Structure 1
Amino acid sequence: MQDLQQVYASQKKLIFFLLAFCALGWGLTPFKTVFAGLALGSLFGLYNFWLLVRRLEKFDRSLSEGKKVASLGTGLRFASGIAAVAVAIAIPEQFHLTSSVIGLMIPYVYLLADRIIYHVKHH
């Protein structure tokens, strides 16, 4: 199975391509708020995924050393999601709320698709 850092690196590449696509969409279409919201949500989603990777590695180290296992930081990831939505609500003329929420989920959807493809290829 791929290392968590490899999965995260792959995730970053996809998000950067998505951000480039959002920049093109923002600049070339009349749907500026939709593409800005998608970019905002994707950035916060990538941050959430980075937090999850960091916490899972810490969790793994704690288990292998026999130490007490700490939280996986769910509260911080929820707070980050709330912050993305708060920005979209606070500045609705710049960010589309629904596309921001969709952007938050993109890293997790990509992770699910990546894992399915990985298992289909290797099993």
Structure 2
Amino acid sequence: MLEMHQIFARQKKMLFFLLAFCALGWGFTSFKTVFAGLIVGVLFGHYNFWILVRRMEKFDRALSEEKRAPGLGSGLRFASGFAAAAVALTWPTYFHLVSVVIGLMIPYVLLLVDRIVFHVKNQ
């Protein structure tokens, strides 16, 4: 499980750079709603990934203690995604809905890229 925390720490660094880029894009371009949507989506997506890491830790601990394994929190992550979409739908003048949905997926794309790079380096 230590490896999952290392992945989460690397991803947090990458997401801070992405959020800084989005903040610059929001401040200096005319696509304010697109960049604001990306920021909201990335924040909710990172929260979802944090929930997944915590739940996987509990799952691993339960398996090692031979207890009944808890769920991985899919309902909570789904509700978080729903909340992000609700924010975009509630304030469409401030947040672009498609950008929010893309932002929700960015942490998982970064996870996929991180694993591909890891396996290419260790082959």
TM-score using structure 1 length: 0.98
1:1-123, aligned counterparts within 5 Å? Answer: 3-123=3-123
Following the alignment from structure 2 to structure 1, what is the Cα–Cα distance between the partners of residues 2 and 103?
Answer: 25
In structure 2, stretches of 5+ residues that fail to align are: none
Following the alignment from structure 1 to structure 2, what is the Cα–Cα distance between the partners of residues 113 and 9?
Answer: 15
TM-score using structure 2 length: 0.98
**Percent of pairs identical after alignment?**
68
Alpha-carbon RMSD across the aligned residues, in angstroms, is 1.1
Which consecutive aligned stretches of 4+ in structure 1 deviate over 3 angstroms post-superposition? Answer: none
Following the alignment from structure 2 to structure 1, what is the Cα–Cα distance between the partners of residues 62 and 92?
Answer: 43
Matched to 1:12, the amino acid is K
Following the alignment from structure 1 to structure 2, what is the Cα–Cα distance between the partners of residues 2 and 11?
Answer: 14
The count of corresponding residues between Structure 1 and Structure 2 is 123
Deviation at 1:2, TM superposition (A): 6.7
CA deviation profile, 1:6-31 (whole Å, cap 9, x unmatched): 00001111111111001100000000
